[in-house]
Structure 1
Amino acid sequence: MHSRSPAVRSPWDGVYMDVLDYQWGVAVEFWKEIDALARENDVQVAIEMHPHNLVFSPVTLKRLVDEAGAANIGAEMDPSHLMWQGMDVIACIKWPGPLVFHAAVKDATLCPGADIRGVLDTSFTRVPADAPGKVPTGYGFWCNAWPENPAWKFVAVGIGNDIPYWTEFLRALAEIDPDMAVNIEHEDAACSQTEGLALAAKNLHAAAAAL
Structure 2
Amino acid sequence: MLTRKQMQLLEFIRQRVDRDGIPPSFDEMKAALDLRSKSGIHRLITALEERGFIRRLAHRARAIEIVKIPEAMERGFVPKVIEGDRANLPSGAMPVTPDALDVPVMGKIAAGIPIEAIQNVTHHVAVPGSMISGQGQHYALTVEGDSMIEAGINDGDTVIIRQQSVAENGEIVVALIEGHEATLKRFRRKGGMISLEAANPAYETRILPESKVKVQGRLVGLIRNY
Coarse TM-score class (shorter-chain normalised): under 0.3
Greater share of helix: 1
Greater share of strand: 2
Larger Rg: 2
